[in-house]
Amino acid sequence: MCAVLFALITWQVAVNGPLRALDEHIDRAVVGSGPTHLTEFLADLGSPQVALPVLAAAAGLALHRRRWAPAAAVAAAMALVPALVAPLKALTDRPGPLTPETGYFPSGHAATAMVAYAGAALLVSRRLMPVAVLLTAATGIALVLRGHHWPLDVLASWSLCGVLLAGAVAAGSRGGSRCPGAASGSRTGPG
């Protein structure tokens, strides 16, 4: 479902479809609303300088718990964020809400926030997932309110990262949780 949503949004942005027109109308109505300091702080939660240390700490804990495959899968998902987002920004060439400069679709900050915080929750404790969702949503909303991104930039990033995280969960559970080369007969299920 996430892949289909991502494809639909990307198509509408690329061809100046009616969804893009609605997106730009909504954006004009909300840009600049909200307390400036708070929305800027929340938008910064998607910066690599903030989000990546959170994911690194969670990955370190997962490695300490000998959950090698899940840690590697989430790290791979995070590595795919810039590898996918940068070419998409160049291909779509979408200007920003407050600037004629291009390269705003999809949002790298929204993607970074989602993979870092949801990935950290997957590695530490799934009970933290509501916190990850809250941080991801707050980041995306703040990016729009500050005029850094259009709403569809954020929604597309979330859709793309839903695919990446689903792949990370599948790869992490298939790969077992113990160090490669562990003694035969050792437990390899989630742990």
Packed helices 2-14 and 18-30: angle between N→C axes, nearest 10 degrees: 90
* DSSP 8-state symbol, 180: T
pLDDT tens-digit map of 53-96:
999 999 999 999 999 999 999 999 999 999 999 999 999 999 99
Asked if residue 87 has a cis previous peptide bond (ω within 30° of 0), the answer is no
Task: Give percent of the chain above pLDDT 90.
Answer: 82
Beta partners for residue 2, in sequence order:
none
Helix (H) or strand (E) holding 96: strand 95-96
23 CA to centre of own chain: 20
Q: Are 112 and 46 in contact (CB under 8 A)?
A: yes
**33-37, 131-135, 164-168, 183-187: range with lowest mean pLDDT:** 183-187
Sign of the dihedral through C-alpha 94, 96, 101, 103: negative
Residue in 94, 111, 132 with CA at minimum distance from that of residue 48 = 111
- Residue 9 and residue 13: Cα distance in Å, rounded? 6
- Residue 45 and residue 133: Cα distance in Å, rounded? 12
